[in-house]
A = this chain, B = another copy of it.
């Protein structure tokens, strides 16, 4: 278990993000969350802490390559951390989840509407 993730790139404020030169906080956040499985990982960890392989299973067997990349990013962003049992959300990560939570209910009415 090495913790030398010096080469994980999370943009800093003012820096240009993947395709965004302004580097406003919200765009840095969207850049981070707008990556495959990022929000799904947070969503799953909110339910309960998971080991690497449990997370993989819950996220419908996403490849370990991507999972590991996302975990490094989310840890660098201080949203996820290693816990007693595998990985878990940090305090900030939980805050973020609380804000995403309403999407859960809304997504049902949204897909219902789309189905019509």
> Assuming A25-B110, A78-B114, A99-B103, what are 17 further A-B pairs, CB within 8 angstroms?
A20-B40, A20-B60, A21-B60, A22-B60, A25-B107, A25-B108, A26-B104, A27-B40, A29-B103, A29-B107, A33-B34, A34-B35, A34-B37, A92-B113, A95-B106, A96-B103, A96-B106
Known: A13-B111, A60-B19, A113-B92. A30 touches B39 (CB 8 A): yes
Within 8 A of B (CB), among A1-50: 10, 12-13, 18-22, 24-30, 33-40, 43
Number of interface residues of A (CB under 8 A): 44
The answer to whether B13 and A26 touch across the interface, beta carbons within 8 angstroms, is no
